[in-house]
Structure 1
Amino acid sequence: MFPIRDHNPSGRTPFITYLLIAANVLIFLSYWDLLNYPRDLMIFYDHYALIPARPSLGSYLTSMFLHGGILHLLGNMLFLWIFGDNLEDEMGHGGFALFYLASGVAAGLVHVMLSPGSTVPTVGASGAIAGVMGGYLLLFPRARVDVLLIIIILIRVISVPAWAMLLLWFGLQLLGAAGSDPDTGGVAYSAHAGGFVVGAVFALPVWLKRGGPAFWNRTHGAPPHPVARYDRSSIPRVRRKRGHIPPVHRRK
């Protein structure tokens, strides 16, 4: 299940969100070629990635702008694109920049505390973006989010409330953290879960400034402005064709 857009337009141009996306893409492109040279890539990560067994102060920040591959980058930027503009709208440009960086650093701290002996380099903006998602849940729990739902051969775009999509995502991170080994690499679930919780906490002042529970009562958890209307989104089912399928050779 992948979010593709929300129905929550921002009231101002999200310059910081655009700047963060551009920075992540440009930094990734700057070391793109190292992906073909694992030894050189690990030397690069040794300097700039967050390594829980020996974290450095700077690595909490630099690791937030590194990614392990193109899909890793694109997935993170998609989530930032969907949810970042609305928090920037509520917090202001400077406030959102501080919120984003603080969420990413806090997510890194949670990961280090829960994986203190791991020597696996940790990279990615997902801890900070998880903070954005936690803040979004607090401010707009009933905003509508269109998600691409894929179940075997059934492919559909459906609209769900933000709380359902975000809490499901958070639950999957908790399950992943409980079943993962930090010494074997993979997804840093603890950073995701920690960033999500921290983001909700960091967004509390904005929520309280808007009225806290009164803000929810006034808006019913939906965006406090007219929602975006889109044409019906539907991807047709792809049915398996009957008949003989000739064999093919697949490159390993």
Structure 2
Amino acid sequence: MFIPLHDANSLKHIKLQYVTVSLIGINILVWLVVGAFSSDQQASASVLGLGFIPAVLFDYASLDPALVLVPKDATIFTYAFLHLSFWHLATNMVFLWVFGDNVEDAFGHLGFLIFYLACAAAGALLHGFIAPQSQGPLIGASGAVSGVVAAYLLLHPRVRVWVLVFMRIPVPLPAFIPLALWVGQQFVMLLLSPEESVSWAAHVGGILTGAILVVFFRRSGVPLFDRTLVTPRAVQHKNQGLQDAGVSQTERPSDSIP
């Protein structure tokens, strides 16, 4: 539907988004080890051992002991660090990069890490509750990232974000427009196609958890529905160039009346 490119929403409480950067780094490292530089057999074993399999968690099936890498309860977290497709990884990490820093800023480092893992777990559990006998492993950070998107939407709906629409057209929009449409799409797809290869349930589980936890995890004094408008840097530079040329925003030739 769209890919976020950039926002100019500056950090107010932290100097650097250590947790966001670390999560992105871990996801990339795991992809390199498990996906890019592993044989198909090794990758499949890693997916089975670290991915979330509802039938295993709910005791409808058991995993070959040779494939068990972590306790089955831990897979509600470990699945969120697995990506076999580069584009699956890239899409999730771009969303996390654009929106994660400001959510981490609002929650603090530790709070954001707990929040991220909670959204990942909620995504896995809703996926499992909808299809408890499924033996297909769930992988990907989408559930956790969906929670981050929901939190950003509630914290900064008016911030203008550059998004790539239809993978072709870069457009600056208030965050609530693309993010609300994206959130709505996840619920619609869950109702229409609950058994697709994409786990819409994991997305919805992350969204619901993120929307609830943002109320409790944000720092004291951090408001919901921040009304501050932040202009993307590309627009700021354009306006600055016009001002340097002696043309105010209200005097641009395109705005003049013949």
Q: Is the 8 Å Cα contact of residues 30 and 82 (structure 2) preserved in structure 1?
A: yes
Which residue does the alignment assign to 2:149? 133
Unaligned runs of 5+ in 2: 58-71, 238-258
Q: Is the 8 Å Cα contact of residues 14 and 89 (structure 1) preserved in structure 2?
A: yes
CA positional deviation for 1:209: 3.5
Which residue does the alignment assign to 2:84? 68
> In 2, distance between residues paired with 1:176 and 1:108?
17
Which residue does the alignment assign to 2:121? 105
Which residue does the alignment assign to 1:8? 9
Which of 19, 22, 33 is the aligned partner of 1:19? 22
Which residue does the alignment assign to 1:204? 215
Which residue does the alignment assign to 1:180? 193
> In 2, distance between residues paired with 1:91 and 1:118?
35
Q: Is the 8 Å Cα contact of residues 28 and 66 (structure 1) preserved in structure 2?
A: yes
Q: Superposition pairs for residues 140-151 of structure 1, below 5 Å? A: 140-150=156-166
SS of 1:3's equivalent in the other structure is strand
> In 2, distance between residues paired with 1:63 and 1:20?
13
Which residue does the alignment assign to 1:59? 75
Q: Is the 8 Å Cα contact of residues 54 and 133 (structure 2) preserved in structure 1?
A: yes
SS of 1:158's equivalent in the other structure is strand
Residue identity in the other structure for 1:188: S
Residue identity in the other structure for 2:44: M
Deviating more after overlay: 98-107 vs 74-83: 98-107
Matched, 1:43 2:45: yes
Which residue does the alignment assign to 1:250? none
Q: Superposition pairs for residues 154-169 of structure 1, below 5 Å? A: 155-169=168-182
Which residue does the alignment assign to 1:32? 35
Q: Is the 8 Å Cα contact of residues 6 and 98 (structure 2) preserved in structure 1?
A: yes
Deviations 1:168-200 (A, max 9, x none): 111111122123253xx5211111011011101
| Alpha-carbon spacing, 1:174–1:100, altered in 2? closer, same or farther (3 Å) | same
Q: Is the 8 Å Cα contact of residues 106 and 198 (structure 1) preserved in structure 2?
A: yes
SS of 2:6's equivalent in the other structure is strand
Residue identity in the other structure for 2:45: I
Residue identity in the other structure for 2:120: G
Residue identity in the other structure for 2:54: P
Provide the aligned length of Structure 1 versus Structure 2.
221
CA positional deviation for 1:42: 2.7
Q: Percent identity?
A: 35
Which residue does the alignment assign to 1:190? 201
SS of 1:53's equivalent in the other structure is helix
CA positional deviation for 1:110: 1.1
> In 1, distance between residues paired with 2:130 and 2:96?
25
